Amino acid sequence: MVALVIGLIVVLGAGQLFIASKRTYDQMEQLASRQQSLRALYDFISLDVRTATSASINAAGSELTLFYEGRRQADPACSGGGNLVSVKYSYASPSVMVGVQCDSASGYTTNALVNGVEALSFSPLPPEELPYVEANVTFEAMSGEPADSSIFSFVVALRCAVFDGCAS
């Protein structure tokens, strides 16, 4: 009887250890996925903002449109080696969408870039001009996580505006 009770305690302890390890593993997997999504989002947006000749943000701050005026010729985003005309970033729950317009196409080709996002907004810095673009990304909160720890911001310079024009 004593051996049975001791065995039960050992099995319960091992079960609790397994459950705690599984929760930790799941949280680390979610965190790694979030970091990968944020890194990809930052890489794409920062490259596109830095190489753009001009940009515009809609009044709600939910859409960023970048224009290239011949700066990205034979761009890999354009099939057949076309020239990139503009790129548009927007949010459609739960994804960040990116639309690409090439000189050979009449409209935007739009695809999901990153999933698991709750909100995306853009704002110019300083507020009255557009030499810098601030992107604010809110990811879905993980269990037990404070709401403000799933909000990330980054700022990227529009090089043509910072350096007084673009030399082709």
Q: What is the pLDDT of residue 95?
A: 92
Q: Judge whether residue 112 has pLDDT over 80.
A: yes
Quick one: tokens of 45?
């947006």
Quick one: tokens of 103?
């000189």
Residue from 81, 84, 108 nearest 97 by CA? 108
Quick one: tokens of 89?
């970033």
Residue from 36, 16, 14, 13 nearest 24 by CA? 16
Q: What is the pLDDT of residue 18?
A: 93
Q: What is the pLDDT of residue 127?
A: 67
- The residue behind tokens 């350096």 is 163
Q: What is the pLDDT of residue 161?
A: 76
Q: Do the bridges between strand 64-67 and strand 84-92 make them parallel or antiparallel, or are there none, so unpaired?
A: antiparallel
Q: What is the pLDDT of residue 6?
A: 92
Q: Considering the entire predicted model, what is its pTM? A: 0.81
Q: What is the pLDDT of residue 143?
A: 79
Q: How confident is the model at residue 65 (pLDDT cuts 50, 70, 90)?
A: very high
Q: Judge whether residue 77 has pLDDT over 50.
A: yes
Q: Do the bridges between strand 151-157 and strand 95-102 make them parallel or antiparallel, or are there none, so unpaired?
A: unpaired
Residue from 52, 48, 50 nearest 40 by CA? 48
Q: In angstroms, what CA-CA distances link 148 with 18, 142, 152?
A: 30, 11, 9
> Which of 66-100 are b and which e, b meaning 16 or more Cβ less than 10 Å from the residue's Cβ?
bbbeebbeebeebeeebbbbbbbbbbeeebbbbbb
Q: How confident is the model at residue 144 (pLDDT cuts 50, 70, 90)?
A: confident
